[in-house]
A and B are shown apart, each in its own frame.
Chain A
Amino acid sequence: MNGIEQDRAQTAAPATAPIGLPVEIGDDGIVTLRLGRSDERVVTITPERMSDLAAALDRIASDTRVRGVIVTGPNLPAEGPGMFCAGADIQLIDSIADAAAGEAAATRGRTLLARLQQLRVPVVAAIDGPCLGGGCELALFCDVRLATDEPGTQIGLPEVKLGILPGFGGTQTLPRLLGLPKALDLILTGRLLRGKQALRTGLVDRLVPRTKLLAAARAEVEKLAAKDRKRPARRLRGLAFWLSKTPLRWFAARAATQQLQRGPGRFYPAPHAALQSCLNAFTMPVEQGFAAEARQLGRLVVTPISKGLLRLFFLTERSKRLGKHDAARDLQRALVVGGGVMGAGIACELAQRGLAVRLCDLDLQALVRGKARLGKELDKRVRRKRLTAPEAMAIQDRLQASTEWGHLRDTDLWLEAVVEDLQVKRKLMGLAIERGLPEHAVLATNTSSLSVTAMAEGLPHPERVVGIHFFNPPEKMPLVEVIRGATTDDATVATACRLAVRMGKFPVVVGDAPGFLVNRCLAPYLNEAARLVLEGTAPEAVDKAMLDLGMPMGPCRLLDEVGFDVATKVSEVLQNGFPERMQPCELFAAMAGAGLLGQKTGGGIYGKDGKRPGPGRKVIAELRAAHGTPGREASRSEIVQRLIYPMVDEAYRCVDEGIVAHEDDVDLGLVMGIGFPPFTGGITRYARREGLSTIVHALDELARLHGPRFEVSDGMRRRATS
């Protein structure tokens, strides 16, 4: 069967395969196999593409003129963002409902991709753009891998981040290629590599500029074809050899295991399974190793953990789409007023994302600290070769720190991060307009507690006033609450979201009510933790219960980090908003009154190291004594019920009151904002699994014992009964 018609081959026009994978055969017998049609911007592995690929491979295998194959993405060498293959379609992964189906799908995919290796001619992967998961596994079955050093080129196996493991042979092929230690580093972390890093690791064989990629791939094919060889000789050497091919691999495995058991790793089974599977690559016959991998994939893909992580992935994608709104504008020049920790941190982030930023504060020392903070961060990245020195210099140049605002004619983002005082903020916004801030500019506030609507009131063009609430520290925290005031228009909200996405953050649009979303849901949690402590439960026990649930940090530790001054201030605002539910625990004021603010003053409930008991224990003891009631240690389940269940109720209230548009927003917001365990898929998923009626019953009981702060909202009660 000759699938490639002569005339098409001569004109080098893409031969239209049944579903559309272009296969071009040149006069020199070198086939260019494209993984997608030229109009496809994203290439994912779907059943259709797989059967298409199978057909293409049939034809290539049966055509004796073929001397070699180049596998590449849909677009090369055209302009525009690159794309190789972004891996298996995640919707499809999500739809797999039983383990046997998962195992079968993995086996099918791997068998197909392995045919690239089984071709008698050399196969060269020409990679430009994302080469992820299944796409990377496809490339691993090729004989030679070439990649571009474009910023869009990212290569890796991120499967563990979705709670599964590479199922198309990745845990077998990658360790054999790179050796166990390097392969584990990539597979267990799901880390993606840019071109240069991939070259250094050995994942790709050569870096080539984009315009020369196809020519270089052709040359590689010719080189192998001339020698009549299928693949270049490659062998593990040195330490990689000893730690892979000999029983010494036990050391590599042990090091990886130890790494996994640190932190929240214990909640995720995928990396452990991946580790075992990688070891199989050296201890089992090839086919058995592949089979074991597929079995593991089937087992993992149906776990609730994987489903939760997949959901989170979809939520982040949804959040990123907020920036693609038609009305959203790209911002160029920012004026950040207030050089404190938040202001300077935000300014640094903006400068790094290409905005020209003016950071203004009357305190020159604060400005110096802000610049130094950026300098330190940039130096670190230059040392690690993440940035070149000129790139770092350009970023540093873009952050101009001054006591003067200067003129505002080019400013399209004015953002304040000054003291939380409505009058001060209003005055500054008025001043910005007086000083000639253009009408199209966004007036943003980083307030965590004040009303955006109240700030905008009386200003000309209040529709452009918006809250952009970053969390502390802004360089680390991935969530941004975009607060829509009563007068804020869609374009402004969309522009703020776009900015957040550009900064690598996940925006959540929230309504203008006390505490917005995250702080509002966090308040009952922190309040209740403090109450439990005052009732006699050890802070360590409270924290441990939450850590065991998968929270990244216990509430008492978190209070130390946030600081009792901030906690007092925020809880006052929330108390005003929701007096019946959010009476702040007296511990906050007592600690703040004693000058024990937490980590910033050298210790609070915990000491400076965050582990040992801190000076705040004395305050706790005094308060406990003043209560006079005998201390009572709460059980683990009581802790969970009293901390998490009110948060669930509050989350549903936010949905019902329209603070957020959708349950999805709550789920993403609490995972990204306070680290609610990602594997749950979000707090509403967690609640469903626990059972809404169980939660309602527990809360009713708590309300009976402790008062109205546990009262269940109507919306929640309705959901529980429906």
Chain B
Amino acid sequence: MSKKTDRSGDLAIIAGLRTPFCKAGGAMQRASAGDLASFAIRELLDRVDIDRRAVDEVILGCAGADAREANVARVAALRAGLPEHTPAMTVMRNCASGMEAILAAQTKMRAGEGEVFVVGGAESMSNFPLLMGPALVKFFTRLGKARSLGQRVRALTSFRFGALRPRVAIVEGLTDPTTGLMMGETAELVARRFGIERAQMDQFALRSHERAAAAQQAEMFVDELTAFLPPDHRGAITADDGVRSNQTLEALAKLKPVFDRHNGDVTVGNSCQITDGAVALLCTTAKKAKALGLSPLAYVRGTSTAGLSPRVMGLGPVHATPGALQRAGIGFDDLDLVEINEAFAAQVLGCVRAFADDGYCRQQLGLSGAIGELDPHKLNVDGGAIALGHPIAATGARLVLTLARALRQRDQRYGLATLCIGGGQGQAIVLEAA
């Protein structure tokens, strides 16, 4: 089925590690994105038998970088003990930033700008700031410019308490500015488009927790996790803390919708959790891996990024997947495992419907028919962001790491990792286990 294609330009994923994902404002709240990323990178490079000097570049995704570490990749690289001459950049494509880092590495590698990359993503949602509102900015600007006493007095008296109202970065960051919709509202639109009900969403959320809990129980995450020692020294963090092994449907059903209080179905229970975390992956080419004596975990066989209406951004995976499959030279049914990021249960279920929807695929994607039926047993086998959390830019890299690890553990061949992106995009990567 697959044509004989030149695979020398494919990235090989050698290894990856991530910190546990912890609820924002919780155990990792004192760690910045740089703290998390540098820890993950240092640990990864200490464990993989490679000379740090062999790394050509560090590329990390970060959606809400702190002003103090705007190029967080560079900060993390230096702090992780990479040589000063190794460059580093931070990429940003909202929720896909961590996956974008892998695509960026692939692009650079194909352009001949390096062979060995440390990629990944880091996010400290605990540290998303409160910003000064425009009125307060104006006040300080005026005060700063005031020279004479009279000007100063006038500037000071122009203060109004209303100006203290902050802008909340995390809320603004999760709102699409072109449509004014919050991410949860776009999920409501997807649900309505495909007629997905509250009970189905809650059922899916429960499944996510159950699978994640089972995976924790079976120590499936051991191969991708490293214990994190937070900078406040309050004990070691060894596991994702959002997973609820005692989650029940009844409890989920009791939750009130948050985005559309009257008619909505999306609750905090069937949405992803807001968390902190970082992921680091080491990738290179098959040839270079051999030269370095490293055995890859998986190969990146196809990648794709696609745009769609920001109003239904949750369907992004449907738009990105065909391109990635085509580049990988495989069909939808060849996939053994699929990771779709669980931004919202509504949106994942929407994707599953859309994949199988003849009309949607014809109209929206210009395909000749439906992409295919997705076997639920292949989907998010060890749970997803509803249980594990979604530290925005870390997730894309986490999906790839989780998928590579799951393929290996289950002895499967092809996998798809894909996610929706605020602002109306989707990104997908097809992996082949090594």
Contact = CB atoms under 8 A, between A and B. Distances in A.
Q: Do A and B bind each other?
A: yes
Interface of A: 356, 358, 364-365, 367-368, 371-372, 375, 393-394, 396-398, 400-404, 406-407, 409-410, 436
Interface string B191-227: 0000000000000000000000000000000000011
B46 A402 contact: yes
A371 B46 contact: no
Given A402-B226, A403-B227, A394 B47 contact: no
B46 A394 contact: no
- Among A397, A401, A409, the one with the most B-chain Cβ atoms within 10 Å of its Cβ is A397
A400 B227 contact: no
Nearest to B80: A397
B413 interface: no
B229 A371 contact: yes
Nearest to B34: A393
Task: Pick the 9 closest A-B CB pairs, nearest first.
Answer: A372-B233, A406-B46, A364-B236, A407-B49, A406-B47, A397-B79, A368-B236, A371-B229, A400-B42
A612 to B, nearest CB: 34
B238 A436 contact: no
Contacts of B39: 400
B52 interface: yes
A409 B79 contact: no
27 contacts: A356-B81, A364-B229, A364-B236, A365-B235, A367-B229, A367-B236, A368-B233, A368-B236, A371-B233, A375-B231, A375-B233, A394-B79, A396-B231, A397-B38, A397-B79, A397-B81, A400-B42, A400-B46, A402-B43, A402-B46, A404-B46, A404-B47, A406-B43, A406-B46, A406-B47, A407-B49, A410-B52
A402 B39 CA distance: 11
Given A356-B81, A409-B51, A410-B51, A402 B233 contact: no
Nearest to A358: B46
Contacts of A365: 235-236
Contacts of A407: 46-50
Contacts of A393: 79
Contacts, number: 54
Contacts of A358: 46
- Among B51, B81, B233, B238, the one with the most A-chain Cβ atoms within 10 Å of its Cβ is B233
Contact of B238 (A364, A372, A400, A401): A364
Contacts of B235: 365, 368
A364 B227 contact: yes
A368 B49 contact: no
Interface of B: 38-39, 42-43, 46-52, 79-81, 226-227, 229, 231, 233-236, 238
Contacts of B234: 368
A404 B81 CA distance: 18
Given A364-B236, A404-B46, 11 more contacts: A364-B227, A365-B236, A368-B236, A393-B79, A404-B47, A406-B46, A406-B47, A407-B50, A409-B49, A409-B51, A436-B49
Contacts of B47: 404, 406-407
B185 to A, nearest CB: 40
B38 to A, nearest CB: 6
A530 B82 CA distance: 54
Contacts of A410: 51-52
A401 B236 CA distance: 10
Nearest to A410: B51
Contacts of B46: 358, 400, 402, 404, 406-407
Nearest to B234: A368
Contacts of B52: 410
Contacts of A402: 43, 46, 226-227
Contacts of B43: 400, 402, 406
- Among B46, B79, B238, the one with the most A-chain Cβ atoms within 10 Å of its Cβ is B46
- Among B48, B49, B80, the one with the most A-chain Cβ atoms within 10 Å of its Cβ is B49
Nearest to A411: B46
Contacts of A364: 227, 229, 236, 238
A365 B235 CA distance: 7
A433 to B, nearest CB: 15
A407 to B, nearest CB: 4
Contacts of A371: 229, 233
A398 B81 contact: yes
Contacts of A404: 46-47
- Among B50, B229, B234, the one with the most A-chain Cβ atoms within 10 Å of its Cβ is B229
Contacts of A400: 39, 42-43, 46
Contacts of B81: 356, 397-398
Contacts of A436: 49
Nearest to A372: B233
A438 to B, nearest CB: 11
A364 B42 CA distance: 17
B42 A397 contact: yes
A260 B236 CA distance: 45
Nearest to B79: A397
A409 B50 CA distance: 8
- Among A396, A398, A401, A402, the one with the most B-chain Cβ atoms within 10 Å of its Cβ is A402
B235 to A, nearest CB: 6
Contacts of B226: 402
A371 B231 CA distance: 9
B14 to A, nearest CB: 13
A398 B38 CA distance: 11
A404 B231 CA distance: 19
A362 to B, nearest CB: 12
A403 B227 CA distance: 9
Nearest to A400: B42
A432 to B, nearest CB: 14
B215 to A, nearest CB: 20
A371 B30 CA distance: 15
A53 to B, nearest CB: 44
Contacts of B48: 407
A393 B75 CA distance: 12
B429 to A, nearest CB: 27
Contacts of B229: 364, 367-368, 371, 401
A403 B39 CA distance: 14
Nearest to A401: B229
A604 to B, nearest CB: 30
Contacts of B79: 393-394, 397
B210 to A, nearest CB: 27
A397 B75 CA distance: 12
A396 B79 CA distance: 10
B27 to A, nearest CB: 12
Contacts of B236: 364-365, 367-368
Nearest to B52: A410
Contacts of B49: 407, 409, 436
A592 B48 CA distance: 45
A368 to B, nearest CB: 5
B265 to A, nearest CB: 41
Contacts of A406: 43, 46-47
A408 to B, nearest CB: 9
Nearest to B233: A372
A332 to B, nearest CB: 10
B116 to A, nearest CB: 15
Contacts of B51: 409-410
Nearest to A375: B233
Contacts of A396: 231
B278 to A, nearest CB: 14
B219 to A, nearest CB: 14
Nearest to B38: A397
A367 B50 CA distance: 25
A436 B47 CA distance: 13
Contacts of A398: 81
A397 B32 CA distance: 13
Contacts of A356: 81
A393 B235 CA distance: 19
Nearest to B81: A356
Nearest to B42: A400
Contacts of B38: 397
A410 B51 CA distance: 7
